[in-house]
C-alpha cells in the first residue's frame, strides 16, 4: 500500500498495478477460457505470476484472482468456478481444502473511520481439510481452523475453530465435525 487517502491517489504501487494489468490480459486470454480439466495449466499460469501452488491443485477456469502473487494454494486443494479470491492481501488455502462455487475470500477492506477510506489488507488463512461451502464470505484477517466446515452463505467475520461445523450470518460454530468411518 502506498497511499493513506484513496481520494488523492492509488493504494497500490505502479509495479503492482502493471502486474495486475498483465495478469488480467493473461487471465482473459489463457486462464478463464481454458478447458476445465487443464488444472496443471492454470496452476502454471498462477505460478508464473508468483503464486505458491502445491501439487494436484484443482483451480477451475472461472475463478477470479485479483493478484496471484498473494496466493498460497496447498496440495490437492480445490477452488470452484465462481469463487472470488480478492487477494489484495495474502490468501492461504490449506491442503485438501475445498472452496465451493460463489465463495468470496476478501483480504482487503477500507478504514471507514478515516478520511479517504484508506485501504487495509489483512491475510486470510484457510486451514487444511476445510470446506467453505457455496456463496460464503470470508472477511479480511480471518483464520479458519483445520477441518472446519463453513456453511453455505455464511459470513465469517471472526476466526473459526478447527474441526467444527460453522454457519450463519454472522458465522458461529454449531457442532463438532466428526469424520465417519466407512
Contact 173, 160 (CB under 8 A): yes
Confidence (pLDDT) at 2: 44
% of the chain surpassing 90 pLDDT: 83
**Minimal CA–CA distance to 19: which of 72, 52, 65, 54?**
65
Alpha helices in 2-153 (DSSP H): 14-26, 39-48
- Collapsing DSSP to helix, strand or coil, 132 comes out as strand
| Residues forming beta bridges with residue 73, ordered by sequence position | 53, 93
Write down all domains in the chain, each with its CATH number in brackets: 14-173 (2.160.10.10)
Global confidence as pTM: 0.92
Residues 103-132: pLDDT tens digits? Answer: 999 999 998 898 888 889 999 999 999 999
Is residue 16 over pLDDT 70? yes
Amino acid at each position: 500500500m502506498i497511499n493513506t487517502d484513496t481520494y488523492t491517489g492509488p493504494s497500490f504501487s505502479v509495479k503492482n498495478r502493471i502486474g495486475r494489468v498483465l495478469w488480467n490480459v493473461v487471465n482473459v486470454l489463457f486462464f478463464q477460457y481454458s478447458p476445465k480439466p487443464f488444472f496443471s495449466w492454470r496452476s502454471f499460469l498462477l505460478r508464473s505470476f508468483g503464486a505458491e501452488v502445491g501439487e494436484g491443485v484443482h483451480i477451475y477456469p472461472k475463478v477470479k484472482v485479483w493478484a496471484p502473487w498473494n496466493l498460497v494454494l496447498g496440495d490437492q486443494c480445490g477452488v470452484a468456478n465462481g469463487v472470488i479470491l480478492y487477494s489484495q492481501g495474502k490468501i492461504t488455502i490449506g491442503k485438501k481444502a475445498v472452496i465451493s462455487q460463489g465463495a468470496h475470500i476478501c483480504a482487503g477492506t477500507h478504514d471507514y473511520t478515516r478520511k479517504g477510506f484508506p485501504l487495509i489488507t489483512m491475510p486470510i488463512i484457510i486451514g487444511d481439510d476445510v470446506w467453505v461451502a457455496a456463496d460464503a464470505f470470508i472477511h479480511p484477517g480471518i483464520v479458519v481452523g483445520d477441518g472446519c466446515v463453513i456453511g453455505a452463505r455464511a459470513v465469517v467475520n471472526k476466526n473459526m475453530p478447527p474441526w467444527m461445523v460453522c454457519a450463519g450470518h454472522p458465522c458461529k460454530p454449531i457442532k463438532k465435525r466428526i469424520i465417519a468411518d466407512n
